[in-house]
A = this chain, B = another copy of it.
Amino acid sequence: MLSTVLSEIFKKLPHEKVHAHCDGPCGVYDPASARIAAEAVLSMTKKLIALVPPQGNNSSELATYNNTFSRFVAIKEEQAQQTKKELLILWTDYFKPEHLATFPDLHDTFWKAAKLCSACKVNIDQGKAEELMQAVEKIHKMFWQSKGRNDSWITAS
């Protein structure tokens, strides 16, 4: 996978010391926030695909189905927005010009990841939700690499 290869290359690069002057500036950044939200997007997408509309015209069954469907879409929307927000905090506040030498594709990586968040809203598309998880994993690796750490990618679900 591209992100693994990239990660291997980064590990061999010298780790540049970057002073944290964040927005807060609490200095506490963690891509786990984006990862948790992206997992929820993938989970809701799968659940929406698995949801079976009721056969026949039973009004109460239809209402139950619509209640669930409508809520799942709203949660998928909210979590995709949250993923985007958490990713953009890393892009605008954590990463600094001195990181561009190590990560020349920094902007493009975040732009595509943000657009994947939108794609997961507009569609019910498990492929896109899995691509989003991979994009967040790539960013997880870039982030910890930039801090000279090598934290594993562990999901909650």
Contact = CB atoms under 8 A, between A and B. Distances in A.
Interface of A: 22-30, 32-33, 36, 39-40, 43-44, 47-49, 51-53, 57, 59, 62-64, 66-71, 73-75, 77, 79, 84, 88, 91-93, 107-108, 111, 114-115, 117-118, 121-124, 151, 154, 156-157
Nearest to A32: B32
A105 to B, nearest CB: 10
A121 to B, nearest CB: 6
A71 B32 CA distance: 25
A23 B71 CA distance: 10
A44 B22 CA distance: 12
Contact of A67 (B48, B63, B88, B117): B48
B40 A26 contact: yes
Contact of A28 (B23, B36, B114, B117): B36
Given A32-B30, A93-B118, A114-B92, A67 B108 contact: no
A124 B39 contact: no
A117 B75 CA distance: 16
B47 A63 contact: no
Given A28-B156, A92-B84, A118-B93, A67 B124 contact: yes
B73 A23 contact: no
